Amino acid sequence: MRVIGIDPGLRNLGWGVIAVNGARITHVANGICHSDAGDGNLARRLCSLHTQLTEVFREHLPETAAVEHTFVNKDAVATLKLGQARGIALLVPAQFGLEVGEYAPNAVKKTVVGVGHAAKVQIDHMVRLHLPGVRIAGPDAADALAVAICHAHHCQSSGRLQAALQRAAE
């Protein structure tokens, strides 16, 4: 199963694709979709992110997707813009017919690092441990790979739970 994780951002939208085969997780690709912060036209920036992320989906053909929840900060305008970028992160997988898992940043950190308030450097380190030899495009891509790993663990756990419930019902 191919899993794409997405770390939404208006300037830098991170993405990471992993392959899951049983308990084995391997790196496929990662990167960052950029929009021009100097372009004051929000619609063009969102369109650019949509186009770039759509190309990532066409190239890597993920089978499931996960997106990190928006972190709400004190700047309401910035939070709203981030929410619009998150809309693109949800829209593109939906256009490819995929279900999208959504995870709070603390849940991703807890799954990947073991601590819900881990620093970015800790996330990067643990992603590298999970995916030996990976070359990470930047912090946003590392976060996206962490989201993908979190989703893979969640899917594996829920699959085991479903199988156990089915066996118990038989």
Q: Give pLDDT tens digits for 51-81.
A: 999 999 999 999 999 999 987 777 888 888 8
Strand-strand pairing, 100-103 and 64-68:
parallel
Q: Give pLDDT tens digits for 86-144.
A: 999 999 999 999 999 999 999 999 999 998 888 889 999 999 999 999 999 999 999 99
Query: What's the pLDDT at 161?
Result: 47
102 marked as binding residue: no
Active site residue 75: no
68 marked as binding residue: yes
Active site residue 7: yes
Query: What's the pLDDT at 157?
Result: 79
In 3-119, where does DSSP find H-type helix? 42-60, 76-95, 105-112
143 marked as binding residue: no
- Alpha carbon 131 to chain centroid distance? 15
Residue 23 banded pLDDT, cuts 50, 70, 90: confident
Active site residue 124: no
Entry pTM: 0.91
